[in-house]
């Protein structure tokens, strides 16, 4: 079976929230997702046999785009779905004449960092003590990918 990526709608919020809660110790809320459905946002879900296994949420402002959130359910991680979602996001950004793509990632999320680096992202900065953890806080790595 082949996974399918399609634009998300507000009707997909419960499925996106379920993926987010399964994949993250500190997940977004339903309210976070609800604020990300307007013309400046682009969102997609990845489905396999009608089940949502992953998603992304991004925003465009002028010629820049930011990947806010990307997630894959734990049982489907390591199968290339995150890469498919990232490639789809980047293709959407390019189609909208975006010149630079930005994101931030937990310093401890080595799998995501490796994925982003393999796509050409480079580290541009650090936000100390940005994300909550069980032990306190951890840094956010800022990354960018020039498209133009």
Sign of CA dihedral 97, 4, 33, 76: negative
**Does 116 qualify as catalytic in the annotation?**
yes
Residue of 39, 116, 131, 138 marked catalytic: 116
Q: Binding site membership: which residues?
A: 70-72, 109
Determine contact, residues 129/139, Cβ cutoff 8 Å.
Answer: yes
DSSP 28: P
**Does 104 qualify as catalytic in the annotation?**
yes
Residue given tokens 């929230």 in the structure block: 17
Q: Binding site membership for acetyl-CoA: which residues?
A: 70-72, 109
Determine contact, residues 90/101, Cβ cutoff 8 Å.
Answer: yes
CA 77 to chain centre: 14
Residue of 56, 81, 104, 117 marked catalytic: 104
Q: Enumerate the active-site residues.
A: 104, 116
């Amino acid at each position: 079976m082949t996974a399918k990526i399609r634009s998300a709608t507000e009707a997909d919020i419960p499925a996106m929230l379920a993926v987010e809660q399964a994949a993250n110790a500190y997940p977004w809320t339903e309210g976070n997702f609800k604020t990300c459905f307007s013309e400046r946002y682009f969102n997609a879900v990845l489905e396999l046999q009608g089940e949502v296994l992953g998603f992304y949420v991004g925003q465009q402002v002028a010629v820049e785009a930011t990947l806010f959130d990307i997630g894959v359910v734990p049982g489907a991680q390591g199968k290339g779905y995150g890469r498919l979602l990232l490639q789809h996001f980047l293709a959407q950004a390019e189609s909208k004449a975006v010149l630079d793509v930005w994101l931030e990632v937990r310093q401890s999320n080595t799998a995501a960092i490796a994925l982003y680096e393999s796509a050409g992202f480079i580290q541009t900065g650090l936000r100390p003590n940005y994300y909550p953890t069980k032990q306190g806080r951890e840094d956010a790595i800022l990354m960018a990918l020039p498209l133009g």
